[in-house]
Amino acid sequence: MIKFVLLVNKQGQTRLSQYYEHTRIDERVNIEADIVRKCLARNEDQNELSILEFIHNVVETYDRFFDSVCELDIMFNIDKAHMILDEMIINGEITETNKDRVLAPVAVLDRAAGHK
């Protein structure tokens, strides 16, 4: 299973993180510091290429929601970014890759927030 997702910018600064297994905050900081090249933790038996493609899929989904996503989009809308990820990965498993379905609930919530 996927253990965590971490978005970092080109300077290696954390821009989003979700952990699917509880990790203490100090450990998180260490892990995030350690990971410079690796973006996704995987088991030995992972199909790495499929994970790589899934990351692409995530980025494509962000792209569609934010209209070609950039770092600042994520930073200002970190809540949306999290909600999109929450639809795509549950229990550390890839559970939704259909972009329409991922974005539908997030869009509804976005509108609900706007009407307030």
Partner 1 sequence: MDNTIQKTVHVLAQLAPSSGGSGASKSFQQLVRSIGEAKTKHEEDRIMKREAVILKEKLGSRDTNTRQMREYLIRLIYCEMLGVECSWGYIHAVKFTQSSNIADKRIGYLASSLLLHPNHELNMLLINSLQRDLRSSNMLEVSMALIIICRLIGEEMVPPLLPLVREKMHHPKELVRKKAILAMHHFYRCSSDSIGHLLEEFRQALSDPDPGVMDAAVVLLHDMIKGNPSAYKDLCPAFKSILSQIISRRLPQTFEYHSVPAPWIQIRILRILAILGTDDAKISEDVYDVIEATLGSAECTSNIGQAITYECIRTISSIYPKPSLIQKAANTISRFLVSSSNNWKYLGITALAALVLIEPKYALNHQMTVIECLDDPDETLKRKTLDLLYKMTNPSNVTVITEKLIAYLRKTTDEFIKTDLVSKITQLAERFAPDNSWFISTMNSVFELGGSLVRREVAHNLMRLIAEGTEDEDLDKELRGNAVSSYIALLSKPQELPDVLIKIICWVVGEYVYEVEDEYQVEDVLEKITGLLQLEFKDIRTYSWIINSIARLIALIGYVPEYLHSQLAVYLAWEDTDVQQRCSELFEFSEKLELMQAVLPLDSACEDLEIDASLSFLDSYVSEALVQGASPYKPPHMRVSQKASQSPKPQQRPSIKFEPYATPSRPIATSHVTSSSPSLARKELTDSLSSSSSVGGAEVTRDRESISDESKPHTQSTLKSGIQSKGNQKWSRTGYAKAAAPVIVDNISNRIDDVSESVRSSTSSIDDIKEPKAETAANATSIKGSSIEAVPQIPVEQAKKQQLASALFTGLSGPAQRPSKQRRGREERERGSSKLNTNANDDKGKTQETSQLIDLEGIDFSTTGTAPVAAPPSPPPPEEGRGGGGGGGSLFDQLQVLSNETHVHEDEASDTLLMKPSQGGGKPLTESSTSFNDDLIGLFDGSSSTSTSLTSGQPSLPPVSSLPSSFDTTTSLLPTPSPSSSPAPTLLAIMDAPLSSNTVKLPDALNNVTSVSGWNKKELVSDGHIRLSVTKLLHPDKLALVLTLSNQKQAPITSVNMSCTPPSNTKGLRWKDGEEEESEEDLSWTGDLEGFANGTLILSLVPKGPSIAMNLKGEILYTDNTKTQRRLFYDIALYPTDFMRPYVQTTPQFAEKWGSYSNEKKLSLKLDSIKTPDDLMKLVSSRFNFHEIQIIGLCGVFH
The span from the CA of 36 to the CA of 11, in Å, is 9
Taking the C-alpha atoms of residue 116 and residue 112, their distance in angstroms, rounded to an integer, is: 7
- Residue 95 near residue 5, CB atoms below 8 Å: no
Q: Which residues bind partner 1 (CB under 8 A)?
A: 13-14, 16-18, 22, 25-26, 28-29, 33, 47-50, 52-54, 56-57, 68, 70-73, 75-76, 78-79, 82-83, 86, 90-91, 93-101, 104-105, 108-110, 112-114, 116
Q: Which is nearer to partner 1, 39 or 56 (CB)?
A: 56
Nearest to partner 1 of 3, 86 (CB atom): 86
Helix, strand, coil percent content, the chain, rounded in steps of 5: 55, 15, 30
Q: Which is nearer to partner 1, 3 or 18 (CB)?
A: 18
